Amino acid sequence: MNLYLKSVVALVSGTMLVGCGATNLVSTPVENIDTLPLKVTDLTEKQKKNWGHADLLTDTIPGMSIDRAYQEIIGNKKGKTVVVAVLDSGMDLDHEDLVDVLWTNKGERPGNGKDDDGNGYIDDIHGYNFLGESYNEQLEYARMLRLNIGEASMRAKAQLELDEEYPKAVQNKQQYEQILQVVQNADAAVKKATGKDLYTKEEVMALQPENEELQQHIAVIKQMYQYEDSIEDVKKELTEGITYFTERVNYNLNKEFDGRKPVGDDPYDLNNRGYGNGNPKNRVKDESHGTHVAVIIAATRNNGKVINGVANNVELMSIRAVPNGDEYDKDIALGIRYAVDNGAKIINCSFGKSFSPNAEWVFEAIQYAASKDVLIVHAAGNDGNNIDDPNNPNFPNDHKFSTSEISDNFISVGALTSSYGSDMVATFSNYGKSNVDVFAPGDNIYSTMPNNKYDFQGGTSMAAPAVAGIAALIRSQYPNLTASQVKKVLMQSGLTAKATVVLGGDPSNSKAFSEISRSGKMVNAYNALILAKSLSKGKSTLEYNVE
């Protein structure tokens, strides 16, 4: 939410993985990559909306080579339809870029109030809604304190977290409100001074203040131009910040709030089922996360609309299980099982939390998905932390904070920016040599919003669906490959870099890009499809064992 000034990126050389068994994944000679020029010009408007699909070598943007993969590898090859479940907030099922790619449960008759296909869920036409009519929710540690659940040591840690975060949220809300008021006053004064409702930066710079008060207003507006190109964008950012911190205070960190009451189940009893309903559509306009995530995976390609999804030939299953707050372990565990039992081959999980009193339910669901050959793609989290550190727990995961993984079907994704070099890891992105597997574009990603709208959002939440999309391409073109093999293809075929990157937005905290994830790479669709084809024909071997 905080406004920030992006720093100028220094030239840092990189290198690509060029070899896997007998397969050369090289798409340009290594010596050429070592001298890759830095992109010093700003992205065009078109590039800003599509940078995640760009090619590092030809565009000097650390995208995933999606466009190149379609042009040079996929072409008109149709492949097999792949069902991808989006385990998230509700999706706008009527959005122009989603309506043609929705999964439909052919065994269910809509609106008759019956479980026609006998899968245990009534009227689940395009997926299922485990949240009922609820939306706002507490963070898990606030819930633990309200309900007095979890081990004593965890409750003590939860209390410390709440004692720190609640006053911080109150203070941030007040500060954003104060800053917005200052900007609004300055904006009104400059509009009066220029005689224009829409003035330009150049006109502000040319103003000659008649008094000290106007001089101060002009100084405020000039300062805001450091953060955004227009004052309207600044006011929008500040307003969104106020909304965010207001919700933190009123719902997420409010120990007395009970967001689950409208659902009517016991969320800490896995056997208490039959709750929710068959309508996984978003409930309010601001419930946009699932819509934004879904279209990154599989917006209808080349339909004349604003964006293309990563994958073609995909059906998206909507599973509403992530509220405006922390998700419940029960909903996630049942959501994963629902996706697996109803035909999903990939599940995108763009959520996470630091407390998980019933994590075992989710671990068992992950293992269940593995037993059914289903790949789970998970966002690594947005705290800017090293999640190898046991003091920075992130749930769900596939390791239970041990040295080995519980399954080989779970891939954790960190987020990249569009700036190749020292600043290419998003300031918010978590990282970890053991517990993050790959990186993918996740900062300022353009995608859909409810009501046929589009906007930029950022987070590892946006990086995960990018990887899920490439996984869907692989499973579509080479359906004989297992979930475990697809995971390893994604990790092994990516591009690495010799760059030293800034982590958590802290210039004093930097490491080699190759040392902040298990693979040391950023995903690359072009290379992934080359390796997948070779593996499919038995001509390649794979690295990265579970142990």
Determine contact, residues 255/169, Cβ cutoff 8 Å: no
- Distance (Å, whole) CA 440 – CA 418: 10
What six digits make up the tokens of 281?
């559509």
- Distance (Å, whole) CA 332 – CA 130: 9
Per-residue pLDDT at 12 exceeds 70: no
Q: Is residue 522 part of a domain?
A: yes
Q: Which of 252, 287, 304 is the last residue of a domain?
A: 252
Whether 121 and 173 map to the same domain: the answer is no
C-alpha neighbours within 13 Å on the C-beta side of residue 169:
18
Whether 303 and 411 map to the same domain: the answer is yes
- Distance (Å, whole) CA 373 – CA 25: 26
pLDDT tens, residue by residue, 466-502 = 999 999 999 999 999 999 999 999 999 999 988 899 9
Scanning 195-230, the segments in alpha helix (DSSP H) are: 201-206, 212-224
Question: What is the dihedral angle through the alpha carbons of 457, 459, 462, 468, rounded to the nearest 10 degrees?
Answer: 180
The full length of the chain comes to: 547
- Domain range for 389 is 15-137+278-536
Q: Is residue 257 part of a domain?
A: no
Whether 330 and 458 map to the same domain: the answer is yes
Whether 285 and 416 map to the same domain: the answer is yes
Whether 233 and 304 map to the same domain: the answer is no
Q: Is residue 300 part of a domain?
A: yes
Q: Is residue 358 part of a domain?
A: yes
41 pLDDT band, cuts 50/70/90, is confident
Whether 352 and 484 map to the same domain: the answer is yes
Whether 530 and 415 map to the same domain: the answer is yes
Question: What's 530's domain CATH number?
Answer: 3.40.50.200
Q: Is residue 462 part of a domain?
A: yes
Distances in whole angstroms, Cα of residue 266 to Cα of each of 10, 141, 276, 382: 53, 17, 12, 29
Whether 222 and 320 map to the same domain: the answer is no
Whether 169 and 289 map to the same domain: the answer is no
Q: Is residue 269 part of a domain?
A: no
Q: Is residue 345 part of a domain?
A: yes
Whether 232 and 380 map to the same domain: the answer is no
Whether 104 and 195 map to the same domain: the answer is no
Percent over 70 (pLDDT), the chain: 91
pLDDT tens, residue by residue, 405-441 = 999 999 999 999 999 989 999 999 999 999 999 999 9
What six digits make up the tokens of 525?
């669709």
What six digits make up the tokens of 515?
């040392």
Sign of the C-alpha dihedral, residues 526, 95, 377, 82?
Answer: negative
Q: Which of 252, 270, 292 is the last residue of a domain?
A: 252
Whether 322 and 236 map to the same domain: the answer is no
User: Do β-strands 438-441 and 346-349 pair in parallel, antiparallel, or remain unpaired?
Assistant: unpaired
What's residue 154's pLDDT? 94
Average pLDDT, the chain: 90
For the chain, the domain total comes to 2
357 pLDDT band, cuts 50/70/90, is very high
Q: Is residue 183 part of a domain?
A: yes
Question: Residue 527: which residues within 8 A CB-CB, separation 6 or more?
Answer: 16, 17, 25, 27, 65, 493, 494, 495
What's residue 5's pLDDT? 24
- Distance (Å, whole) CA 498 – CA 31: 13
Tokens 């947005």 found at: 382
> 346-369: string of b/e by CB count within 10 Å (b at 16+)?
bbbbbbbbbbbbbbebbbebbbbb
